Structure 1
Amino acid sequence: MAVTTCFVILTYNRVDALVQVLRALAPQCTAQHEIVIADDGSSAAHVAALRAQLPKFSCAVSHVWHPDTGFTASQARNLGAMASQAEYLVFLDGDCVPNAHFVKAHEALAEAGYFVNGNRVLLSERLTQQVVTGEVDLLAASAWDGLRWRFQGDTNKLAHWVYWPQAPGRCESQFRWKQIRSCNFALWRRDFMAVNGFDESFEGWGHEDADLVLRLHHLGLSRKNGFFSTEVFHLWHRQNSRHAESVNYQRVIERSHTDIVEASRGIRDNLSSEGVVVTALN
């Protein structure tokens, strides 16, 4: 029996970017997949725009919304995971457009005892604007387009033009801070539940993803990197406030000297969350 996979997509008041993500995913998904849009409190206007522009999927698409109380990405992701029964979870941000083989690449890398840390390509403000207005279709771009964008400074790398599923050096057994990204991250649902998901006690932007990875390592899992395989195009946006980054960083440092596995406030603590609205979109 095929493994069921859910793509949990975090969003907040940026429907133009989210629609590009969904359009890239739609042709890659089959009936065995699930899409859950984990909404961190978008306005009614943005939710209505999403409904109007939702592309056609052959799998179920759900929208999980909770009230806007500030930057609570960890809770939104946990709520999104709760709305799915899939065996495998792929977390994706609503401004990260997956490449044309993203779904099969993540499923090929899925392996017991590992989580997958995806890769990303940063886009400039200029190229991002062309993408969200429909002037540029990233998945239809040629290698020449990629070279031109890199030469012009519109992207930061060319790795996404190489698809190498069996590339060496993917697996790491030790915790490492570098390039941990919850905007493109996958793991088995059983492992996510075992560590109680993302820790919602991390306030503001920063390092809740490193904390999750640290606790997964404490659980006994190893890291598998998704370079040359799972790249996403990260659309440009203004930098979020990072007022809490140093505090969150210090928390992870302190936890690295312990064997803590479970989030102090995580997915199991959301079982009776108030104000959460779950809607089937198709």
Structure 2
Amino acid sequence: MAATLSQPDGGLEIILVDDGSSDASFAFLKTRGWTDSANGTRITHLRHETTQGISRSRRLGASRSCGDTLVFMDAHLSFPQPDLLNNVHRVLTSGDCDLLGIDCADSSSGISTAGFIYTSQHICHQAMAWLRAADGPLEGVSVPFVNGGFFAIRRACYDALQGFPDFIEGWGHEDRFLSTVAHYRGFRVRSYQQLQVWHPYKTTARGTAAQPAAAVNSAERMLMNSLRCGYILYDDTTFELVCEQLSADYGPAALNGGLSRLEHEKAALDEHLSAIGLTPCERNRQMALFFERYRPWLPMVDEALLQQARQLDPQAGLPLVQALPHVLPSLRPPESTDYSVARLFVEAHHLFHSGDLSAAMTALLEGLTHDPDHLPSCRLLTLTLRQLGRHASARMWLEHADRVIRKHHTQGTIRPLACSDQGFRNRHLRHYFWPGLECEVWTDLAMDAAAGSDCQQAMDWLARALTLHPNDATARAAMASLQMGVVPERWASGQGLSGSGAAGDASIGSRRAA
């Protein structure tokens, strides 16, 4: 690096932090004869004996630095622009930028991130995304976040933000956390993509880095990073959305354990918020302004609002979900499909309970064009069609739902469906589950068969349902009636046995799998 880049005015200082490497990297630097300087550059080597993670390593390096401009970068970059550091220093001393992001192009594929804005898919900051904002490089554009692969910050800004926090463990969150609190404090976060480094991403997708190996970051570390950052960055309502997402991602038991641990850390986290110069009230106000200003570039807000709309009653939830975009441009298949299906299902659910059955049917049919095998959409559609008096269409979709259910029964073995089955596996519905859905489908098919005087077929459908629920008194009574050649009275009136299932719940959230 010292040999590649021109010396900026005032000199260059390089601090290398070995974060507990196990491959003799630190010894290699010493045996190769590295000294305190090279080409007039001061070089300092620091080492953690055990791995501490990016945030703590960068905090250590900054604490030993002297300059007014701090540049943080990954260790595996290359530098196609010799004047890079001079230009970085020029931008940060121009008076128009405090935190600077640049183009971190993919050195393996040659794909540039110029024209893209770095952001987060989820409110818990565990999934990065890149959104196209222009056809060419962004020049001085205000952005929500800078990419941690390479960025620069004025020391006065860094010190005011208390630097990288030491409560972030392992990998992840640190760049978006620092960017967010910079916005909250009124600092200017900008992207200058005429400036460029080469970064060897782990995938060839445009601007998308693969997640590190599990050994680098345990699930517990990622969970706690999300909880700590969410506690500092967000108001109570948004923090609840963080917890809801983490519960789906890690399980309720892991979340509860993390929240118990967080209780012991809240005093220290409150002190950190205060040291940054924010009260909870001011933090909440700045959060709302941040979300409003960067809403087009924050898919995490729309994703979180979808989860909030799912939990609300129809009167409050319907206008919220209808205000959400049908497509999030940051997502790619299959996640983009999941989002569209989830948004349409939540809208249809609220429309169903509001009595607008035709609109509910339209939303469900649109969702099923994206994912024909989404079982909750299939079932809610059959209930909607029944109420609209479109029994032939309802039967067609019941038969389709049965075909989807059979895909989960290997070698003809009938078993209860689970939230992990493909028919329920939608990440943006947090694996929303409809217990007993398969039995409702089979019972309704039995009713249709009996209405068509095919009692044997009706009994076959009921037998499937009773295989899973042999003690269901209503189904057993219907079977006994059919065996005597009598159609149950409720079926004769078209009411069926299954009622309205999960569609009868005012809140979709009440059906979330434990």
TM-score of the pair, normalised by structure 1: 0.61
Counterpart amino acid of residue 116 in structure 1:
L
Q: Are 1:219 and 2:180 counterparts?
A: no
Question: Alpha-carbon deviation of 1:236?
Answer: 4.4
Contact 2:8 2:89 in 1 (8 A): no
Greater helix share, 1 or 2?
2
Q: Distance in 2 between matches of 1:44 and 1:115?
A: 33
Contact 1:195 1:261 in 2 (8 A): no
Partner of residue 13, structure 2: 34
Question: Alpha-carbon deviation of 1:90?
Answer: 0.8
In 2 relative to 1, CA 217–250 (structure 1 residues): closer, same or farther, beyond 3 Å?
same
**Structure of greater relative contact order (alpha carbons < 8 Å, 6+ residues apart):** 1
Contact 2:2 2:38 in 1 (8 A): no
In the alignment of these two chains, the number of paired residues is 204
Contact 1:198 1:212 in 2 (8 A): yes
Q: 2:170 aligns with which of 186, 192, 204?
A: 204
% of aligned pairs identical? 24
Contact 1:31 1:60 in 2 (8 A): no
Q: 2:147 aligns with which of 155, 160, 181?
A: 181
In 2 relative to 1, CA 209–221 (structure 1 residues): closer, same or farther, beyond 3 Å?
same
Partner of residue 92, structure 1: 73
Partner of residue 248, structure 1: 225
Partner of residue 5, structure 1: none
Partner of residue 233, structure 1: 198
Q: Are 1:115 and 2:99 counterparts?
A: yes
SS where residue 228 of structure 1 aligns? strand
Q: Distance in 1 between matches of 2:16 and 2:175?
A: 19
Q: Distance in 2 between matches of 1:95 and 1:66?
A: 19
Partner of residue 59, structure 1: 41
SS where residue 78 of structure 2 aligns? strand
Counterpart amino acid of residue 67 in structure 2:
A
Greater strand share, 1 or 2?
1
SS where residue 194 of structure 2 aligns? coil
Q: Distance in 2 between matches of 1:158 and 1:211?
A: 21
Counterpart amino acid of residue 106 in structure 1:
V
Unaligned runs of 5+ in 1: 1-20, 125-153, 161-166, 267-282
Q: 2:112 aligns with which of 147, 157, 171?
A: 157
Unaligned runs of 5+ in 2: 116-136, 203-209, 236-268, 276-514
For residues 77-102 of structure 1, give each alpha carbon's deviation from its aligned partner in whole angstroms, at most 9, with x where no partner exists: 11111111111111111112223221
In 2 relative to 1, CA 156–71 (structure 1 residues): closer, same or farther, beyond 3 Å?
farther
Contact 2:9 2:86 in 1 (8 A): no
For residues 145-199 of structure 1, give each alpha carbon's deviation from its aligned partner in whole angstroms, at most 9, with x where no partner exists: xxxxxxxxx2222859xxxxxx765232xx724xx31221111112211211111
Contact 2:139 2:192 in 1 (8 A): no
For residues 32-77 of structure 1, give each alpha carbon's deviation from its aligned partner in whole angstroms, at most 9, with x where no partner exists: 2211112212347211322417593212111121212x35211111
Q: Distance in 2 between matches of 1:200 and 1:185?
A: 19
Counterpart amino acid of residue 101 in structure 2:
N
Q: Distance in 1 between matches of 2:73 and 2:166?
A: 18
Counterpart amino acid of residue 144 in structure 2:
R
SS where residue 47 of structure 1 aligns? helix
Partner of residue 195, structure 1: 161
Counterpart amino acid of residue 170 in structure 1:
G
Q: Are 1:74 and 2:55 counterparts?
A: yes
Q: Distance in 2 between matches of 1:171 and 1:261?
A: 32
For residues 4-30 of structure 1, give each alpha carbon's deviation from its aligned partner in whole angstroms, at most 9, with x where no partner exists: xxxxxxxxxxxxxxxxx45433x5457
For residues 118-155 of structure 1, give each alpha carbon's deviation from its aligned partner in whole angstroms, at most 9, with x where no partner exists: 2201122xxxxxxxxxxxxxxxxxxxxxxxxxxxxx22
Q: Distance in 2 between matches of 1:61 and 1:123?
A: 26
In 2 relative to 1, CA 168–226 (structure 1 residues): closer, same or farther, beyond 3 Å?
closer
Question: Alpha-carbon deviation of 1:247?
Answer: 4.9
Counterpart amino acid of residue 96 in structure 1:
L
Question: Alpha-carbon deviation of 1:204?
Answer: 2.6
Counterpart amino acid of residue 21 in structure 2:
S
Q: Distance in 2 between matches of 1:30 and 1:114?
A: 18
Contact 1:215 1:262 in 2 (8 A): no
Counterpart amino acid of residue 41 in structure 2:
C
SS where residue 153 of structure 2 aligns? strand
Partner of residue 280, structure 1: none
Larger radius of gyration: 2
Q: Distance in 2 between matches of 1:234 and 1:207?
A: 19
